[in-house]
Chain A
Amino acid sequence: MLVIQLLVDGFGKGVIYASLALAIVVCHRSTGLINFAQGEFATLSAMLTVVLTASGIPVWISLALSVAASFGAGALVQKAVVRPALGRAHVVQIAITIGLFICANALGNLLFGPTPRPVDGLFPLGGITAGEIRISWSLIGVVILQALVITALTLFFSRTKTGLGFRAVALAPVASRFVGIPVERMHMLGWGIASALGAVAGVSLTNLGVYVEPSMMTPVLVFSLAAVTVGGFDSAVGAIVGGVVMGVVETLATSYVPGLSGDAGMLVSLIIIVAILIVRPQGIFGRNRVSRV
């Protein structure tokens, strides 16, 4: 059944969008910024993974090292570049993340080069066949990996002291400081976790057959941003649901609507997010913010 197979394909794409969207949400919860460079950071992490595996390190260990490095780099970038801009106009903060986008993209071109390279598979080749539907091991593996990541993240935020501190800072920064929670460190933590999530997203993408090259994540970023907008900026659930929905709808629309070829997917997502936001501007799972005038 063609439709089922397309649904499977769309789900696979959607999981990738969801994983980057999750990174964007974590970043936003901690510092209130949408990080437009999240995709490029993920690309750099994927590039690092390629370089590590090329020098002989087994791929899962390379991934772990890459995730750790991304965590550190994300935290550092927050401290060095984003923190000084706190309190500035929103335009300026957004523009700074765009500046980071440019720098990360250039760094990728400079250090990795423009030639695309594959990452060794995290999962075995082949897959399972149910009737006419083929589901590759990579797809199953990516979904399980993502589920594990989400579980770990949820446990971290609800059970550990640091996690709770992080959430406190997101909700009430001034009060958190009074209670002794290191606010700045929580911000760094947020960016670090977001970058680590991005690393997982980047490597997951490569396991769906995409090769690592500069700007590899830029189209994913656009869909992930759309997913986050539709799901609500602070909602992890929204990010995941939004991402999967984006992937599935894009795949089905470009396959079944005559005249819409493969690259019209972005147009489709544009229509979706405008439609959803007009009905519910804070996103499906977003919170309605009330502010004093």
Chain B
Amino acid sequence: MTFSKYAPSRHRRRLTVVCGLATVGLLLGGCSARVGNVEPPADGGTGAEWTAECSHYDPTGGITDSSIKVGTSLPVTGPNATAGTVRFGMQAYFDQVNESGGIDGRKIDLVVRDDAYDPAKTTANVNELLEKERVFGLLGVLGTSNVLAVQPDLQENCVPNLLTLTGAPVVARPDQTWTVPLLPTYTAEARSLAKAALASGAKTVSAISQNDDFGRAYVNALTEALEGTDVTITKQLTYDVGSPAVDSQITQLASDGADAVLVAALGTKCPQIFNGINASGWKPQLLAGALCTTKGLLSLFDPGAGENLISTAWYKSPSDAAWSGDSAIQKYRAALSEYTPEADPNEDFVLNGWLLGQMFVELLENAKTLDRAGVMEAARKADLHVDTMLDGIRFTTNAEKFEPIDSVQLQRYDARSRTMIFVDPDTAQNLPVGETKLTAGQTK
């Protein structure tokens, strides 16, 4: 093994030449040196209450006479890349809106950057989107740590961080006035599931959760919601997202034998867990969140698995046959096949992206002035419903309410027909097809 401590001399000669040219080039190239802490002065604009504490505020950044440029940073590759397919839904909706003239004649230009679910890359992407692409705001940043990594800078620079794709309650804090999340929080979902547990008559509940903030938020909310009731929480086990099998956890929970079990999992771990529970012979009341029971995941259930599982819903899942005649879903499918045919229309995430696009356009149209503060105000004083949401679901924000969607629909899985049926949250009885009855919202 040869180890040369200094690069060979031919390299060093080349290095000198390159460096010399670079230095001279930079100095002479007319690039003005950036020296000194010069920043443009803060501008009040409308909505001075939003911009009072900005370090520097550019009201119309990203907006020209003909376009509104928005950016997003999502996992296109790497872990959670399936969730990154929201970009197809967003793109398709914006393409459709642009084709009919856009917003006041301005086309929406979506710039997508891949962060592979790495918050360090999210930070780099957002910096680039703001400084190089000069976007108006961020849409649909995905992942709790990813949003948390960029939230303070966006807050400081008064850049809208709209409709983030995370259910973590921590991103919806009152002091983060420039961030508005989209998804119902994990706590809201878990509270609804706790209600379902009570309604089902369970006396003991155990939990299996992902070993991250998502899992912890669910389990904490469940614990809180069941405090003071006569339901006890027995075993709480976790698993690592990266580990392939969860058999030992299921074995332990089955041996513990609680009446109900909360499954705070995502993706294909869900059917894995339900199939495992089914195989173990233990028959608890199964409780899981919306992302655990998309039709694609339901199709992976073994026969008989997941019977009477109760989960949550807040949008019309495109893979659910109940919505195949629904006009909102049909419009969505038509637009997808025209503008982003490479996307899978049955993927729930793609529909979420479409829904997000619809929400953003509503915010733009509701803004009193088409600038950052104006749109932010619209997002903070919103009362919206778009047609891909279930009946009754509303996105509402005000001075005291920072979690926009806080009521959800409970649904039960019927193993024979392999479909989800909506249930009444108070009585746990099936509702007639097409009817919804949401769990009560929690005002905070």
Contact = CB atoms under 8 A, between A and B. Distances in A.
Is there direct touching of A and B in the complex, by C-beta distance under 8 Å? Answer: yes
Interface of A: 2, 5-6, 9-10, 12-13, 89, 91, 109, 114-116, 118, 125-127, 129, 134, 136, 205, 208-211, 213, 215-216, 218-220, 251, 254-255, 261-263, 265
Interface in B203-254: 211, 237-249, 251-252
Given A12-B245, A109-B81, 12 more contacts: A9-B245, A13-B247, A114-B84, A125-B303, A210-B245, A251-B247, A251-B248, A255-B248, A262-B243, A263-B240, A263-B241, A263-B242
Contacts of B237: 261-262
Given A134-B279, A216-B244, A251-B248, A261 B268 contact: no
Contacts of A10: 248
| Residue among B240, B248, B252, B268 with most chain A CB within 10 A | B248
A2 B244 contact: no
Nearest to B238: A261
16 contacts: A6-B252, A9-B251, A115-B82, A126-B279, A134-B280, A208-B244, A209-B247, A211-B272, A211-B300, A251-B247, A261-B237, A261-B239, A262-B237, A262-B240, A262-B246, A265-B240
A210 B347 CA distance: 20
Given A209-B276, A262-B238, A114 B81 contact: yes
A5 B251 contact: yes
B283 to A, nearest CB: 14
B77 to A, nearest CB: 6
Contacts of A213: 268
Interface of B: 1, 77, 79, 81-82, 84, 211, 237-249, 251-252, 255, 267-268, 272, 275-276, 279-281, 296, 300, 302-303, 344, 347
Given A2-B255, A116-B268, A208 B238 contact: no
**What 8 A-B pairs come out closest when comparing CB atoms?**
A263-B240, A114-B81, A262-B239, A9-B247, A261-B238, A116-B268, A211-B268, A210-B244
Nearest to A220: B244
A6 B248 contact: yes
A126 B249 CA distance: 19
A12 B247 contact: yes
Contacts of B79: 215
Nearest to A251: B248
A213 B268 CA distance: 10
A224 to B, nearest CB: 12
B1 to A, nearest CB: 5
A205 B245 CA distance: 9
Contacts of B81: 109, 114
B302 A125 contact: yes
Nearest to A208: B245
Contacts of B251: 2, 5-6, 9, 255
Contacts, number: 94
Given A211-B272, A263-B239, A263-B242, A89 B248 contact: no
Contacts of B243: 219, 262-263, 265
A205 B243 CA distance: 12
A6 B237 CA distance: 15
A16 to B, nearest CB: 8
A261 B244 contact: no
Given A216-B244, A219-B244, A251-B248, A134 B268 contact: no
Nearest to B241: A263
Nearest to A1: B255
A266 to B, nearest CB: 9
Contacts of B248: 6, 9-10, 251, 254-255, 262
A136 B244 contact: no
B112 to A, nearest CB: 15
B245 A13 contact: yes
Nearest to A114: B81
Given A109-B77, A114-B82, A261-B211, A208 B242 contact: no
A209 B245 contact: yes
Nearest to A256: B252
A210 B246 CA distance: 9
Contacts of B347: 115
| Residue among B84, B240, B241 with most chain A CB within 10 A | B240
Contact of B242 (A115, A219, A255): A219
Contacts of A12: 245, 247
A70 to B, nearest CB: 20
Contacts of A215: 79
Nearest to B75: A114
Nearest to B81: A114
Contacts of B240: 261-263, 265
Nearest to B252: A255
| Residue among B247, B276, B280, B300 with most chain A CB within 10 A | B247
Nearest to A133: B251
A72 B126 CA distance: 44
A59 to B, nearest CB: 16
A13 B241 CA distance: 16
B356 to A, nearest CB: 20
A109 B249 CA distance: 29
A205 B272 CA distance: 13
B245 A263 contact: no
Contacts of A89: 1
Contacts of B244: 205, 208, 210, 216, 219-220
B240 to A, nearest CB: 2
Given A134-B281, A209-B272, A218-B242, A116 B267 contact: yes
B344 to A, nearest CB: 8
Nearest to A92: B1
Contacts of A210: 244-245, 272
A89 B3 CA distance: 11
